[in-house]
Amino acid sequence: MGTFPVSDGLRAVGWCATAVMAVAVVAMIAGMIPMALGLSEGGEQTAPLGRAVIGGLIGATCATLIVLPAIFATLQSRQARISASLDPDDPNSPYFELGPRLATVSDAGDGRTKHHDHAAE
């Protein structure tokens, strides 16, 4: 299984998530419009609540679809410059140790501890 850029994955999933979210938001706003208009008896008391809910939905939707993906893309582009390797033998790893190192049990593979000087290679 190959790897692909994060931006391609975000685009692939983004459209499905956006469509589902848009349907839910539009349905909620449509349901709140009668309350926001306040046309019924006592509607002048509940109309501000309806308007606040609609405004909150619009604001939260914009934040979720525009602001958060922009922040994520910025953080992800910074993270891509840093190696994710935890291998101390990998020169790109932040845990890279220059110099001699004794091998561990996991390096032996058969449960026996072997002592090997990596610097001598």
pLDDT single digits (tens) 28-43:
999 999 999 999 888 8
Dihedral class, residue 99 (left if φ above 0, else alpha if ψ from -120 to 50, else beta): left
Domain match, 16 and 49 both: yes
The answer to whether residue 17 is domain-embedded is: yes
What are the tens digits of pLDDT across the range 5-35? 767 777 777 778 888 889 999 999 999 999 9
The answer to whether residue 1 is domain-embedded is: no
Instruction: Give the chain's length.
Output: 121
The model's pTM: 0.55
Domain match, 53 and 33 both: yes
Q: How confident is the model at residue 105 (pLDDT cuts 50, 70, 90)?
A: low
φ/ψ of 79, rounded to 5, equals: -70, -30
Q: How confident is the model at residue 93 (pLDDT cuts 50, 70, 90)?
A: confident
- Total count of domains within the chain: 2
CA 72 – CA 119 distance, rounded (Å)? 40
**Residues 21/61, Cβ–Cβ less than 8 Å:** yes
Domain match, 61 and 106 both: no
- What secondary structure letter does DSSP report for 109? S
φ/ψ of 55, rounded to 5, equals: -60, -40
Domain match, 74 and 89 both: no
Range of the domain at 96: 85-121
User: Which residues in 95-114 are b (16+ Cβ under 10 Å) and which e?
Assistant: eeeeeeeeeeeeeeeeeeee
Domain match, 23 and 65 both: yes
Nearest in space to 54 (alpha carbons), one of 36, 40, 37, 42: 36
Domain match, 75 and 32 both: yes
Domain match, 26 and 52 both: yes
